Structure 1
Amino acid sequence: MEDSELDIRSLVEKYEQARVLGKAMYFDADEFASLADYYNSEGDSEEAERLIDEGLKMHPGSHELMLMKVKVLVFLEMYEEALEYMQWVSDDEDVDFLLLKIESLLYLGHDDEANDLINNILGRNLTPSDYYYFITEVGYLLNDVDQFDRGIQLLEESMSINQTNIDTIVDLAYAYEMKGDYEKAIVYNNRLLDIDPYSFEGWVNMGKLFSMNEQHDKAIDAFDFAITINEDDVSVLKMKALSLFLNDNVDESIALFEECLQRSPDDEAVYDSLFESYATMERYDELVDLIDRKEALFGSKGIVIKRAFVCVYTGDYKKANELFNQVPEEERETLDYFMLEAELAFHHKDYPRAEGAYIKAALVSEGNEDVLDRLANISVVQGKFEQAAQYLEELLELEPNYPTAKSRLAFIRFEIGSKEPFDEIMNQFSDKELRSLLGLIMGSDADDFSDYSREKILIRLNEARENRVLFKNIKY
């Protein structure tokens, strides 16, 4: 045990004994500050505040105690009060004080003022240790308020000074993940595993990152490492099962989900994952059995809709309609209800009703990729090509790699005929994708255009688009 730890424990014992005995206490300003810091770190901010106030009565000019008061106010997220109190403490040379001020400004949304202060301090002649400390702490603060671009910039610079700071590596991995740059997040998570190769959390995070980066085979391997370290964690088994499903190993996925159910029979989410897996494999008898098991354990909520979907999957639309009409009133404002309504309406070619149901689904589940996909489809069926294009563009913003979305948007832009939007989507295609698209439009094999340059492919595509516009003008 270090001397500093012994000193604070001795001081805390002295203070608490005095309180129990009801004795008057006298401490130096730095002792009051140390005690307040201790209780604040223990989560007892009320005791910390009391110590600071007592200390300031005895030592009213103590900069250390005034700084501690600011620290406690910030800890309590009383940012306006902290900034107001800082006017009495003003110390433009104390890095900790400046960091507290920046934190308060950022959390109050005064970004311009915070950034001006950051730039001002970075422009000063700080000592190397103060400079490193400042950019590292500001990087953490910026990540905390989701200002990842500058947070990453400062933490990358911090890493160039000290490559062994684990907290910085963790924050960079987090920031890159939040930015959607999973490759970079994986790089930094790998650094953590280099430091601690048997980190359960490290391998779990790696599995999640690989999964989000659609590297499902690597995600499975990472989850296997985590399971080796802690074989009793059912949540990791579920993540591995999901990765197997996404990697098209559906049979293995089902077997693992069933194992999860055996280990954790009260986990309702596993039933929903198994429902999707069985439906994908068209194992409808097992799907019905699964629904029965879920109903027996959790009750009838959502069960009628599940049974109706099974009827849709098997083509029994008469029974599906009967079940749809039996859905309890309290379940008729849910995503599943609206999706079922839309599926049934689409089957009966009631496209306006189907579209209305999908719109309701979109309202209760904003940013749902599957709903946007269906809205695009129903818009095309009704000849609403501009509307379909808008839905697909929104879908591609959410998920740039959503299956077939880009090619469908290209065909819709081709059908609409406007040059600029068509050129814009063409710019997002690789040369190989452009050859495939030209082959589909021309009714030829993509290999027929293997010697075409990108420029020549685009010329041919635009010629086809113009001919389509001319044909439609003649026809109508």
Structure 2
Amino acid sequence: MEYNQNEEHNEFSLTRFESMLKTNDVLFFDSNEFENIIHHYLENGKIALAKKAIKLGLQQHPSSINLRLFKIEIFVLENKFDQANALLDELYTLEPGNEEIFIQKANVLSKQDLHQEAINTLLAALNLSKDSNEDGDIYGLIGMEYLFLDQFDNALDYFKKCLACDHSDYASLHNIVYCFDFLDKNEEAIEFLNAYLDSNPYCEVAWHQLGRQYFAIKDYKRASAAFDFAIISDDTFIGAYLEKGKVLEKQKEYKEAIENYKITLALDDPTSFALLRIGHCYEKLGQSDLAVQFFDRTVEEDPLLDKGWIAITKYYTKKQDYQKALYFINKAINIDGDNVLYWKLYAQINQRLNFLEEAERGYKRTLELGNYELDTWLNRSDILINLGEYEAAVYNLLQAVEFYPENAEIEFRLGGLYFKLLESDKGRYHLKNAMRLNAEYDFILSELFPSVTQKPMVRAIISATKKSSN
């Protein structure tokens, strides 16, 4: 569908239409005016007003195919696929050569996850199209359908065709690079972007994407040059300054990185990413006061950015100011209580402060949220042992065995715990198993269970194993 590009006329039509709705007067609009009004409302998410415009439009222009196609769009938005298909069949009978009918049919199929059928329908639309611009749009739709099917090579082909129709179609350019990225074809992406830049040398988007590809293969010199060209092409391009800052950080040019990040703060509202990176750069330069200032600004700017809270918490942890670290990680947990990284830090800090019950709670929550790292299981079990919760420690370690079978560190702990619980047979089994797996970890027993190591049975097992290994 084509839309009237005269903005003043469109604005006038909208004003008249909304005035009509308020007064209940019936005013006449031609079908193109209704199309522009409906398009405006759909673009701005005003579905109710779009539906009113479609209804009134069809009352005044009942034979309009385009207005009925808009009605199909509404059906699709409301997941009324049967009604959409019924109307499409009706329109196809009237205009079997209208490619827009096929495009809408493909839209219905796509929404029902019938992506291959949608592609076949779009290919039929392509055969009917007589407009090269329309071809580009259809190529883009086919590319998106292939993305849904995870057929990235096919998607890549169609996005390239799309870009060939319109060299300034940056959405397709981004999609092409996305496909290359997914296929781990950085070199091919670089070759493509360089070829594209030969004919579009001032395209800041392409320079930016080229820099990202060089960054991915750790060619920081060429990455930096590409971002410089992006900035030359558009000296207000915030993304290029951010990426240039990242390159400079990799090259340990922290002062220059800060300068680039600060330019982004001057060009637009501060971003939490830039503030965080500036903080890290100051930290690398040993300027702690400035580092913490920017970490503070990061969490103020975006309280939901976990990297900000983690940075400020780790900053105070490194300074061994555990009380302040705990203060900030508690604030973070209050904002997002399901963030596993927060709970891991919470547990570690409480453990440093010897707040064992809180530390155990933190490790338990960390496990509940899916962090199954070995040290999480071991730290929790060691705290439970210190708290005298031997049975809970056993249960924790038996769960850990499911993820880390045949692990000496777990087996030594289980052996010591079963001896503590006076279950000697189980203790002997796990201790023998531990010694078989790695006898060098026998210090775990003396550290966690000093009284157990004095038992004759335990000493005999350790001694016998070491003799046989010699």
| Cα distance, 1:225 vs structure 2 | 1.5
Deviations along 1:137-177, whole A, 9 cap, x unmatched? 26425527941644752661585699343348526425415
| Cα distance, 1:297 vs structure 2 | 10
Q: Aligned residue for 1:291? A: 292
Q: Aligned residue for 2:109? A: 105
Q: Aligned residue for 2:345? A: 340
The structure-2 alpha-carbon separation of the partners of 1:77 and 1:247, relative to structure 1 and needing over 3 Å to count, comes to farther
The letter for the 1-side match of 2:36 is Y
Q: Aligned residue for 1:444? A: none
Deviations along 1:111-152, whole A, 9 cap, x unmatched? 34x423544775899468599967962642552794164475
The letter for the 2-side match of 1:37 is E
Q: How many pairs does the alignment contain?
A: 372
Deviations along 1:50-98, whole A, 9 cap, x unmatched? 5543454455455454334325655x56663534533543446533212
Q: Aligned residue for 1:445? A: none
Deviations along 1:431-456, whole A, 9 cap, x unmatched? xxxxxxxxxxxxxxxxxxxxxxxxxx
Match of residue 91, structure 2, among 89, 92, 99: 89
Q: Secondary structure at the match of 1:163?
A: helix
| Cα distance, 1:190 vs structure 2 | 4.1
Q: 1:200 and 2:204 equivalent? A: yes
Match of residue 179, structure 1, among 161, 179, 182: 182
Q: Name which one, 1 or 2, has greater alpha-carbon Rg.
A: 2
Q: 1:156 and 2:160 equivalent? A: no
Distance 1:84 1:105 in 2: 13
Distance 2:122 2:233 in 1: 45
Contact 2:350 2:356 (8 Å CA) reproduced = yes
The structure-2 alpha-carbon separation of the partners of 1:201 and 1:355, relative to structure 1 and needing over 3 Å to count, comes to farther
- Greater mean deviation of Cα atoms: 204-213 or 351-360: 351-360
The structure-2 alpha-carbon separation of the partners of 1:378 and 1:360, relative to structure 1 and needing over 3 Å to count, comes to closer
Distance 1:305 1:151 in 2: 36
Q: 1:40 and 2:38 equivalent? A: yes
Distance 2:253 2:331 in 1: 37
| Cα distance, 1:256 vs structure 2 | 4.1
The alignment yields a C-alpha RMSD, in angstroms, of 5.7
Distance 2:261 2:162 in 1: 46
Distance 1:132 1:149 in 2: 26
Structure 2: tracts of 5 or more residues without a match: 382-396, 406-435, 439-464
The letter for the 2-side match of 1:165 is D
The structure-2 alpha-carbon separation of the partners of 1:42 and 1:341, relative to structure 1 and needing over 3 Å to count, comes to closer
Contact 1:70 1:85 (8 Å CA) reproduced = yes
Match of residue 223, structure 2, among 219, 224, 234: 219
The structure-2 alpha-carbon separation of the partners of 1:256 and 1:475, relative to structure 1 and needing over 3 Å to count, comes to farther
Contact 1:106 1:145 (8 Å CA) reproduced = no
Match of residue 272, structure 1, among 273, 276, 280: 276
Q: Aligned residue for 1:331? A: 332
Contact 1:354 1:378 (8 Å CA) reproduced = no
Contact 1:204 1:236 (8 Å CA) reproduced = yes
Contact 1:95 1:130 (8 Å CA) reproduced = no
Q: Aligned residue for 1:397? A: none
Contact 1:177 1:185 (8 Å CA) reproduced = yes
| Cα distance, 1:207 vs structure 2 | 3.0
Contact 1:152 1:172 (8 Å CA) reproduced = no
| Cα distance, 1:100 vs structure 2 | 0.6
Q: Secondary structure at the match of 1:228?
A: helix
Deviations along 1:164-196, whole A, 9 cap, x unmatched? 433485264254156354525445544553443
- Greater mean deviation of Cα atoms: 241-250 or 264-273: 264-273
Q: 1:229 and 2:233 equivalent? A: yes
Distance 1:249 1:200 in 2: 24
Q: 1:147 and 2:148 equivalent? A: yes
Distance 1:6 1:325 in 2: 58
The structure-2 alpha-carbon separation of the partners of 1:186 and 1:129, relative to structure 1 and needing over 3 Å to count, comes to farther
The structure-2 alpha-carbon separation of the partners of 1:245 and 1:85, relative to structure 1 and needing over 3 Å to count, comes to same
Match of residue 70, structure 1, among 69, 72, 82: 72
Distance 1:160 1:49 in 2: 35
Distance 2:121 2:7 in 1: 36
The structure-2 alpha-carbon separation of the partners of 1:94 and 1:154, relative to structure 1 and needing over 3 Å to count, comes to farther
| Cα distance, 1:376 vs structure 2 | 5.9
TM-score (norm 1): 0.55
The structure-2 alpha-carbon separation of the partners of 1:247 and 1:162, relative to structure 1 and needing over 3 Å to count, comes to closer
Deviations along 1:371-424, whole A, 9 cap, x unmatched? 88xx366679999798479xxxxxxxxxxxxxxxxxxxxxxxxx999xxxxxxx
Contact 1:152 1:175 (8 Å CA) reproduced = no
Distance 1:131 1:71 in 2: 24
The structure-2 alpha-carbon separation of the partners of 1:268 and 1:77, relative to structure 1 and needing over 3 Å to count, comes to same
The structure-2 alpha-carbon separation of the partners of 1:214 and 1:100, relative to structure 1 and needing over 3 Å to count, comes to farther
TM-score (norm 2): 0.56
Distance 2:14 2:355 in 1: 77
Q: 1:241 and 2:238 equivalent? A: no
Distance 1:249 1:386 in 2: 46
Distance 2:9 2:55 in 1: 22
The letter for the 1-side match of 2:176 is A
Q: How high is the sequence identity, in percent, across the aligned residues?
A: 16
Distance 2:6 2:232 in 1: 42
Q: Secondary structure at the match of 1:275?
A: helix
Q: Secondary structure at the match of 1:231?
A: coil
The structure-2 alpha-carbon separation of the partners of 1:69 and 1:252, relative to structure 1 and needing over 3 Å to count, comes to same
Distance 1:126 1:287 in 2: 64
Contact 1:15 1:25 (8 Å CA) reproduced = no
Match of residue 170, structure 1, among 156, 173, 181: 173
